Structure 1
């Protein structure tokens, strides 16, 4: 390992300096020799040889100290005052031969040192250039990421699923920022609660994303509200998570009920409202999930969120030439109706009761209780109560001049699920196998 590079002057006026240089060279040769028979140079005698002194004066010597090659055959000997000795092997060479070997070795060392110095100099330059480029890129990214649009009071944003959770909080946040918010609520009560908590510029409509008729009514109402300005933002937030559980426990209707809301409803809303978004050169913000990155449980939820991810990527690439941005929100686990324990446990009991006796026997009588306990532990451990972490991402996607393609919200998303999505599938399989209970008749 190269520790240091010593530059020696070309001409040394004093004999003591020359002797010192000879001693340094002698010590280096002594320490770095790899020959079977070690040559112990008489430094006092070497300093009197004119040839060696001439070499010192003519060459700009670069002595390289190597930490991993320092070893003395006789550790008790003083390397500055030793004479010709040999340990074992052939007799010591003649003085002239010593001088030739010394000169040859010195020239090789000098050339290698100069090459190494040039290599290190070039590498340092490349490192500085690369570091400066990375720093500049980071500064430019932060500058672009913080640029915001203007005249938000003239822009309309349509949000689905506003009865509670992320959609409800986002509508109140956008209303405070001055947007003209159009909120699609599933129930009259949800619409009334939202209107009572916001200003006069927020308007609501009843929307069921699983109904084509309901979507068309909301579209006609939106066209009247936005006029020729178009729709700046469409936030597809409406979704459902239940039923969730082992895939073998599901019937086809259990998959379809979730897919109709999270996938089909989201696609139909986007395709119907897209002309209005294109007119305003606005944004489509689709709420996916970290379970659209890692399939951690059965049922239609993970399937639908993977569909949201892929549909959004396809849509973004298809319409990017029209000035429309498509953003994906990937929340982790948050305390909303989607993660409420009571409906999750109720659905698990329903799924268990619809199984055949043979399937129940394969899992065992205690499997359901163990599964529910693990669900409670997971939800109570990683669920975050601060919903603003998600709505802040949505707000940035609507306000930023250069919105991001993906937003990950929550500590579990950033530290657990997103890194896990880049792992080999076998790693995810093993991790989930260790967490979930083992069936009674597992092999």
Structure 2
């Protein structure tokens, strides 16, 4: 058309290069901004749940080493003893079962009695979690879901509600452990349902506290070498779920299905499990120790790349990919 001007190829290339440089500079500045540490750690009190083993145990030790005053909730006395032996006198352990409201209330009374006068909590880390039962949907009961929800969701909610007044006092922060399984269901287990719910709760909580000076942060790991992703434990959970089934359900699936499911789960975990749990602890440390932490920490290459692609694909494609290796019930094959 007369009067219409078109950009030359060189001009378009220059715009593309400038856009890339601006984006890269913005990303670099944002990352540097997020790495700025708090001005001090001494005198800040942190509560961590699920400190017997795994991420919680490692985080408690690292924060204690950095000078924080750590309250470490442990489910077992062995977990308490191990932490007490390996940490400074500033770290204080207490028994905690987040699935029980009375245990949380006892923890609240204990921590209040140990806090200095007019001092609150800088950070609550809701780390405690369990895997729960594993198997097809008709192997699982309401009780299976309730058991997992009582720890992974209701425990998180009860801990937050109990300690929120102390967190408000410091204008502190809450760090919630969810999972990549809170974005895409990778196995037919109550665990995924609990993590989807924990994601929704965390988003709600962040917006609810937005104007109060309390921030909320989510840790979303992929599969890491912990008790929850242990192939031997998962195999035991699959077989235990099958053994609880009614006779007609067992007959429909057959014992061969169980063997195949165990073999497939081992193969899957072998492909996606990351053997460096320190990456998750690093994300925790950033959420606790940074001046301007991210809202979400997607941890691990499988979570950042492979599963990100899967949850953004149309369901027809992601379903096809995820169901390729699933075993088939014996009676379905013969019908």
Please say whether Structure 1 and Structure 2 have the same fold, judged by a TM-score greater than 0.5.
yes
Corresponding residue number in structure 2 for 1:202: 91
Which secondary structure state, in structure 2, belongs to the residue aligned with residue 181 of structure 1? strand
Corresponding residue number in structure 1 for 2:252: 362
Which of 281, 287, 309 is the equivalent residue of 1:391? 281
Corresponding residue number in structure 1 for 2:158: 268
> 1:121: Cα distance to partner?
7.5
Determine the C-alpha separation between the residues in 2 that align with 1:264 and 1:429. Answer: 30
Residue segments in structure 1 that go unaligned for 5+ positions in a row: 1-107
Corresponding residue number in structure 2 for 1:98: none
Which of 118, 121, 129 is the equivalent residue of 1:231? 121
Q: 1:200 to 1:374 in 2, by over 3 A?
A: same
Using the TM superposition, name which of 326-335 and 379-388 deviates more. 379-388
In 2, are the aligned partners of 1:332 and 1:409 still within 8 Å (CA)?
yes
Structure 2 matches for 1:98-109, cutoff 5 A? none
Corresponding residue number in structure 2 for 1:340: 230
Output one character per residue of 1:102-122: Cα deviation in whole Å (capped at 9) or x when no partner.
Answer: xxxxxx9xx99x945x66686
Q: Give the ranges of 4+ consecutive aligned residues of structure 1 lying more than 3 Å apart after TM superposition.
A: 118-133
Q: 1:115 to 1:306 in 2, by over 3 A?
A: closer
Q: 1:207 to 1:130 in 2, by over 3 A?
A: same
Determine the C-alpha separation between the residues in 1 that align with 2:285 and 2:137. Answer: 35
> 1:327: Cα distance to partner?
0.6
Bigger relative CO (Cα 8 Å, ≥ 6 apart): 2
Which secondary structure state, in structure 1, belongs to the residue aligned with residue 186 of structure 2? coil
Output one character per residue of 1:295-330: Cα deviation in whole Å (capped at 9) or x when no partner.
Answer: 112231000000110100010011011111111101
Which of 44, 62, 68 is the equivalent residue of 1:155? 44
Which secondary structure state, in structure 1, belongs to the residue aligned with residue 228 of structure 2? helix
In 2, are the aligned partners of 1:242 and 1:344 still within 8 Å (CA)?
no
Corresponding residue number in structure 2 for 1:329: 219
Determine the C-alpha separation between the residues in 2 that align with 1:338 and 1:135. Answer: 37
Determine the C-alpha separation between the residues in 2 that align with 1:132 and 1:165. Answer: 40
Corresponding residue number in structure 2 for 1:318: 208
Which secondary structure state, in structure 1, belongs to the residue aligned with residue 255 of structure 2? coil
In 1, are the aligned partners of 2:139 and 2:241 still within 8 Å (CA)?
yes
Q: Does residue 1:167 correspond to 2:41, yes or no?
A: no
**Computing the radius of gyration over CA atoms, which structure comes out larger, 1 or 2?**
1
Corresponding residue number in structure 2 for 1:54: none
Q: Does residue 1:373 correspond to 2:269, yes or no?
A: no
Q: 1:421 to 1:197 in 2, by over 3 A?
A: same
Q: Does residue 1:181 correspond to 2:77, yes or no?
A: no
Output one character per residue of 1:172-201: Cα deviation in whole Å (capped at 9) or x when no partner.
Answer: 111111111110001111100011111111
In 1, are the aligned partners of 2:135 and 2:242 still within 8 Å (CA)?
no
Which secondary structure state, in structure 2, belongs to the residue aligned with residue 229 of structure 1? coil
> 1:129: Cα distance to partner?
5.3
TM-score between both structures, scaled by the size of structure 1: 0.71
Corresponding residue number in structure 1 for 2:194: 304
Q: 1:345 to 1:122 in 2, by over 3 A?
A: closer
Determine the C-alpha separation between the residues in 2 that align with 1:389 and 1:233. Answer: 20
TM-score between both structures, scaled by the size of structure 2: 0.92
